[in-house]
Structure 1
Amino acid sequence: MIPVEVVRGDGPVILGLPHTGTYVPADVRARLNDLGRGLADTDWNIHKLYEGLLPGVTTVRATFHRYVIDANRDPSGASLYPGQNTTGLVPLTDFDGHDIWQVPPSGGEVEYRRETFHVPYHAALEAEMARVRAQHGVAVLYDCHSIRSRIPFLFDGVLPDFNIGTNDGATCAPAIVGAVESVCRAAEGYSCVTNGRFRGGWTTRHYGRPEEGWHAIQMELAQSTYMEEAAPWPYLHDRAERLRPHLAEILKQLETLARTGDLT
């Protein structure tokens, strides 16, 4: 099993896809309970949603499921959101706070999974960021995510449609977040927020080094914008086709800024 798939493009934008994978090794699956084996907390259909939106884009996609180990969590195990409900490096519960394991992983198992899955994914992502930065003088990582729009365990009420994360502006140049915000705010019938409940995961925070020409921004989409939010999690073509032009415009704006804008 290859833990990461890279499709290399010649442009300045990289799409990170840490949560679309559904591979679970047999020994890990045997330790999950029935709820866990349902893999509900997948970023379902995200790779399909973004496919073909930007010519020349590079994609870095984890093939393993977040219940094996979460590629968007700090490898030290430190919480991204201290004091708030969240899931960890190897989640012990689902997004609703329910146990997902019959036999939770030991510390040794977590370390094995970190080395086997988390490390290769980030080695590939870091290599692509360095390659693109060397080629273009700048690299822009757009980290692709989605989540159900209603999860009381994680947040109150209904999540906005577009959730932009820059760790309070630390992970990218102001021009980048400004461009993304402008597209989202102009998208009729959609809501958006910047650095709300989701401010960017470990990936965005780790690779967002604007002073080095490494820019990172996270987009957490409400799944209701393009799919059914219940098993078997079907992709809804009409909703997706309404959303895709806005996502394409975001990526186009990022590419234009990287090629012509002053992001140093």
Structure 2
Amino acid sequence: MNDWLSIAEGDAPLVVAFPHTGTDLADVAAQFRSPWLARRDTDWWIDQLYAFAGNMGATLVATRISRSVIDVNRDPSGASLYPGQATTELCPTTTFDGETLYEGSFPDPTEIARRRALWFDPYHAALAGQIERLRARHGKVVLYDAHSIRSHVPRLFDGALPQFNIGTNGGTTCDPALASAIEAVCAASGRSHVLDGRFRGGWTTRHYGRPESGVHAIQMELAIRGYMDEPATPDAANWPTPFDPARAAALADILSPILKAAHAFTLQKA
């Protein structure tokens, strides 16, 4: 097993993926302008927020490699997931705020291919294997791609991001009943939510979501304010703020029925 890849197998027809929790800058750390800057856009503590998922029988797949090294939720061809909108690349060259990540030259095609072979391809081989294992056993499986982001990133979106951002790429990656069930939990929470807004699902959701084949994929992008304190201006002294289970409990209490709704969906007859 690769020491940068974490897989916790469960028996329920539910896979929870964590593509952006990693902070390991691997063998390219010295190329970045700043280790802190390279790690700033991490989906901080999201695996701890969803720690309850393992007790529900979900399979958990996570990479410890930082998204700044290679983003396993981007199209490996390099095509933009959001044409005409600001985003980051397979091997990002800037932060979400547009700051240059590298001290010198950017990764060239040879280097990008090396990183893809080392980290991207094994991550997706593992994810695909777990999805197929559960689909073969249950006939239907939900892939839940777990994310979070700072509430205010003007380069990427205007104003404050809703608390819950559900992505199904316009309804193509899962049965509408699954999206509706998750939307209902979000609405009942009283917190803001949107379906297929600014974040409609990354490459993972779009690649694996094949409802007609029994694989239903959905992305959940959380505004990070829901479970940790956000400074107005993040810097190396104040970001990230520590994970506080008590602080995060209220959001976890909403995420738990969201995953339960996803699990219940898999048990419904077609």
TM-score clears 0.5: yes
User: Given residue 163 of structure 1, which amino acid in structure 2 is its aligned partner?
Assistant: N
- In the TM superposition, residue 227 of structure 1 has moved relative to its aligned partner by 0.9
* Structure 2 gaps, min length 5: none
**1:35/1:100 contact within 8 Å kept:** no
Matches within 5 A, 1:151-230: 151-188=153-190, 190-229=191-230, 230=234
- In the TM superposition, residue 2 of structure 1 has moved relative to its aligned partner by 2.8
- In the TM superposition, residue 235 of structure 1 has moved relative to its aligned partner by 1.9
- In the TM superposition, residue 234 of structure 1 has moved relative to its aligned partner by 1.9
C-alpha RMSD of matched pairs (Å): 1.3
Paired residues, number: 260
Structure 2 counterpart SS, 1:217: strand
Q: Which residue, out of 227, 233, 249, partners 2:257?
A: 249
**1:36/1:101 contact within 8 Å kept:** no
Q: Post-superposition, which runs of at least 4 consecutive aligned residues in structure 1 deviate over 4 A?
A: 35-38
User: Given residue 259 of structure 2, which amino acid in structure 1 is its aligned partner?
Assistant: L
Residue of structure 2 equivalent to 1:102? 103
Structure 1 counterpart SS, 2:207: helix
Question: Aligned equivalents of 1:228 and 1:163: distance in 2?
Answer: 19
Question: Does residue 2 in structure 1 map to residue 3 in structure 2?
Answer: yes
- In the TM superposition, residue 36 of structure 1 has moved relative to its aligned partner by 5.7
- In the TM superposition, residue 97 of structure 1 has moved relative to its aligned partner by 0.6
Residue of structure 1 equivalent to 2:19? 18
Q: Which residue, out of 106, 110, 113, partners 1:111?
A: 113
- In the TM superposition, residue 107 of structure 1 has moved relative to its aligned partner by 1.2
Question: Aligned equivalents of 1:47 and 1:182: distance in 2?
Answer: 23
Change (3 A) 1:108 1:38: closer
Question: Aligned equivalents of 1:7 and 1:149: distance in 2?
Answer: 30
Residue of structure 2 equivalent to 1:43? 43
TM normalised by structure 2 equals 0.93
User: Given residue 17 of structure 2, which amino acid in structure 1 is its aligned partner?
Assistant: G
Residue of structure 2 equivalent to 1:131? 133
Residue by residue over 1:146-177, the C-alpha shift from the partner in whole angstroms, topping out at 9 and shown as x without a partner, is 00000001011100000000000000001100
Question: Aligned equivalents of 1:105 and 1:89: distance in 2?
Answer: 10
Residue of structure 2 equivalent to 1:91? 92
Residue of structure 2 equivalent to 1:62? 63
Structure 1 counterpart SS, 2:174: coil
Identity of aligned residues (%): 50
User: Given residue 160 of structure 2, which amino acid in structure 1 is its aligned partner?
Assistant: V
* Structure 1 gaps, min length 5: none
Question: Aligned equivalents of 1:248 and 1:143: distance in 2?
Answer: 14
Question: Aligned equivalents of 2:154 and 2:100: distance in 1?
Answer: 16
**1:163/1:221 contact within 8 Å kept:** yes
Q: Which residue, out of 240, 248, 269, partners 1:232?
A: 240
